[in-house]
Structure 1
Amino acid sequence: MKRSELLKNPIHLLSFGFGTGLAPKAPGTFGTLVGIPAVLLFAPLGLNEYLGVIAAFFLLGIFLCGETGKVLKKHDDPAIVWDEIVGYMIALFAIPLTWQTMLLAFVLFRFFDIRKPWPIRWLDKKVSGGLGVMLDDVLAGLFTLVILHALMGAGMLPGTL
């Protein structure tokens, strides 16, 4: 079965980031782009509600990514990008949303997701299934979040001065 045919199934449609994960080059980057409207849609709900959406998306992602991985017979296939969407949402938790902060979060998140510094790489190798797919991007999102909050605390967050 062609991967594009998997988009007919809602599980794979979500796992593939509404098809962005099927991009021939840099599917993770294209998948992260789906995180932008997700952040813009849910961040105005308030911190507790936004955190609830992130938690729900994380738990849903464990299932989605696990199921799609089984069908593709590959753990963390590059086409699976739901984890990037959730990781990007984490990166912007309690951060003022400006185009500058969203761009900086995007660049930092992609850096951590691609380079996978310790312990991200370790988690990526040691934890399997849907949880493993999700955890490395959650950690990349948290690394980004810490940097953005440090910049914000120092009064150096671009677009918020």
Structure 2
Amino acid sequence: MSTKYVLDPADRRRLLASPAGWLACGFGSGLTPKAQGTFGSLAALLPWLLLRDLPLLAWLAIIVVGFAIGVWACEVSGRILGVADHRSIVWDEFVGQWIALLPALVAPWWAVVAGFLLFRLFDVWKPWPIGWFDRRVKGGFGVMLDDVIAGLFAGAVLFLILHAFLG
């Protein structure tokens, strides 16, 4: 079984052999040797940019469905790897990043960069209550929950920045 940081070739094959694993590792973006969360968040930008013109209600539906599927995929992947929140599991970064970017749907390009940076800040820093939930809520739901909250924090700060600069 893998540790939280090392993914051996056998675990990688088992993870990618499962639809849940393929999704949980962000279509392979979580398989980088370092900075898996950052690469997962970067990979989340591609579908976001392709679907940016969807209305807000469609984005909310994507996020809810992405969260629900993510709970399942992260739970299954954690069991495959023997580590509930292995660093290669980055689907939570996808959903959290999408939440953080909700205010950027109708904003200039720099808002996407700011939303990315703010999400990474809150995801790594884990201020209260993010860190509290991260330590106490386990399983696929716990893997997803702390990133959703980080996305909400980042989105709120981005909204305030946009409101201050754009009115």
TM-score when scaled to structure 2? 0.88
Deviation, structure 1 residue 151 = 1.3
Matched with 2:117 is 107
Deviation, structure 1 residue 143 = 0.5
Post-superposition Cα deviations, 1:65-121, rounded to whole Å, max 9, x if no partner, equal 011011111121111000000000000114225431111111110111111111100
Q: Aligned AA for 2:126?
A: K
2:85 to 76, 81, 87: 76
Matched with 1:2 is 10
1:11 to 20, 30, 34: 20
2:158 to 137, 148, 157: 148
2:59 to 41, 46, 50: 50
Q: Which 5+ residue runs of structure 2 have no aligned equivalent? A: 1-8
SS for the counterpart of 2:85 is: coil
- Aligned residue pairs: how many? 157
Post-superposition Cα deviations, 1:135-158, rounded to whole Å, max 9, x if no partner, equal 00001100011011111222x26x
Q: Distance in 1 between matches of 2:102 and 2:62?
A: 11
C-alpha RMSD of matched pairs (Å): 1.5
Runs of 4+ in 1 over 6 A off after TM superposition: none
- Give identity over the alignment, percent: 45
121-130 or 34-43: which moved more?
A: 34-43
TM-score when scaled to structure 1? 0.92
SS for the counterpart of 1:141 is: helix
Q: Distance in 1 between matches of 2:130 and 2:60?
A: 22
C-alpha contact (below 8 Å) 2:101/2:116 kept by paired residues: no
C-alpha contact (below 8 Å) 1:83/1:134 kept by paired residues: yes
C-alpha contact (below 8 Å) 2:37/2:93 kept by paired residues: yes
More helix by share: 2
Q: Aligned AA for 1:126?
A: R
- Are 1:131 and 2:138 matched, yes or no? no
33-42 or 142-151: which moved more?
A: 33-42
Q: Distance in 1 between matches of 2:140 and 2:47?
A: 21
- Are 1:122 and 2:122 matched, yes or no? no
